[in-house]
Amino acid sequence: MIAFDFSSVDWLVVAVVVGAFLAAGTVKGVLGVGLPMIAVPLIAGVTSPAHAIALASVPVVVSNAWQAFHGGHTKDCARRFWPMLTGVVVGAVVGVQILATFDQQLVSGILGIVLVVFTGLQAMPRTLALDARGERWLGPPLGLVGGVLGGMSSLFGPLLILYLVALRLPKDVFVAAVALLFFVGSLPLFLGLVAHGILSPPQIAHSALSSLPVIAGLVIGRRLRRHVPQALFEKALFVVLIVIGLNLVRRAFF
């Protein structure tokens, strides 16, 4: 029998990783977004950025699957957004193929600027909104572009979130829809990273363990969301999106 040497474990790092994923999972449980943007910078403070991104790979897939298939909105969201979902999958497959040849920092910066500007406009009294006709025509191409960008940089969020925010969905439907879009996009990305040897088996195992505090945070966040009024939900979402956008700009240009 092989004994594991617990003295070699840096418990401070373990505590930071667990705390970061628990906090990020809670925020995602409430708002439906923010997991990698919260967890990765915190974890990168005690380990390498590459390791932090690798640790977040499985929790991102698990958390989106959990939110996409819980709450009773899965069928309605799949039926309503299937053209966009198709575009996301196709785009993600294409994006993964050109992952190594594109300037990810530039992509991050552009998406960050777009996210900050659009979210700021949405927070104003006269908001931008999409009607049924706009939803039908914009969904597929935005899904395709968002999938390509996500496959290249792992940043599926900005364009897809902006689209869903403009639809003014009820909070539970918004969370289910964004999770479903992220889930179908993250699967080709995850499989592509494994196929290209970017994610190794030990990294996948560590990342899978990191899903446990994320799931706990999702449960906490979902319970909190029940007590959050729609107006407060939208304001909190806008704040988080602006913070995410500013962080993308910071990482790209500073």
Distance CA(77)–CA(80), nearest Å, equals: 5
Inter-CA distances, 223 with 22, 31, 96, 175, Å: 14, 12, 35, 13
CA distance 160 to 165: 9
Per-residue pLDDT of the chain (254 residues; tens, 9 = 90+): 444 444 556 778 899 999 999 999 999 999 998 888 788 878 877 887 667 878 888 999 999 999 999 878 999 999 999 999 999 999 988 887 776 566 767 766 776 787 787 777 666 655 667 777 888 888 999 999 888 877 776 677 777 888 888 888 999 999 999 999 999 988 888 887 788 777 888 889 999 999 999 999 999 999 999 999 988 998 888 888 888 888 878 877 77
Read off the DSSP letter of residue 47: S
Structure tokens at 32: 């439906």
Report the distance separating Cα 56 and Cα 78, nearest Å: 25
Q: Which residue, among 101, 119, 191, 196, has the nearest Cα to 157 in the 3D structure?
A: 119
For the record, the structure tokens of 212 come out as 């446990």
